[in-house]
Amino acid sequence: MEKYIVLEKLGEEMYKDKFGNIPNKDKINYYLIESNQNLGPWVSRLKLIGKSAKMIGKELKLDPDIAYACGSLFEIGKKENKKDLAQVMTGFNILRNESYFFPARIAITSKFIIKDIKTFDENFNIEKKDQKKLENLLKSYQYNDYDKLIQLLDKSILENYVGIDNYYKDKKEEKIKK
């Protein structure tokens, strides 16, 4: 397994009751921009999802800081140029290793509306032991409104807001091209 260097303190850490450590805006920017060797349109998309999660989260009486952090970082495994399940597990490990346990969980739950690994519609490019770990994590999670919000935004926002219908249309066309 890859080792991730613990980051030096960037600004003040946020601790949220029942959610633990949550990265602040400086740390989120560090992950997305400063320490990222794989910049691309996905970064803008995560920023848009983070901002959308914050605004919608406020309306839903969710903590906007938690919603913003989870929306901004749920695909952070892409900074390591990972795809599919490897991206999910890499993102989970990056965030977990920094003690951001709730955002790490969202890195997983965002891709599983149904808590079943068999519902993942992309490549299973991780080892069997990681698949088992993922299955066990999914079984242990009780989804809440943050999970559902990020799932909805992930399916609604590509590089700009497209809505759920167009998301699935684009995904279908993408698979046909492969």
DSSP secondary structure string for all residues of 99-163: T-HHHHHHHHHTT-SSS-GGG--S---S-HHHHHHHHHHHHH----HHHHHHHHHHHHBSSSB--
pLDDT at 121 over 90: no
pLDDT digits (tens, 9 = 90+) for 32-81: 999 988 999 999 999 999 999 999 999 999 999 999 999 999 999 999 99
pLDDT digits (tens, 9 = 90+) for 55-68: 999 999 999 999 99
Domains of the chain: 14-177 (1.10.3210)
Q: What is the pTM of this model?
A: 0.83
Q: Determine how many CB atoms are found less than 10 A away from the CB of residue 110.
A: 25
- Model confidence at 176, pLDDT cuts 50, 70, 90, reads confident
Lowest average pLDDT, out of 17-21, 130-134, 149-153, 173-177, goes to: 173-177
> How far apart are alpha carbons 31 and 41 in whole angstroms?
15
Predicted confidence at residue 9, as pLDDT, reads: 46
List the one residue out of 76, 11, 65 whose CA is nearest residue 38: 76
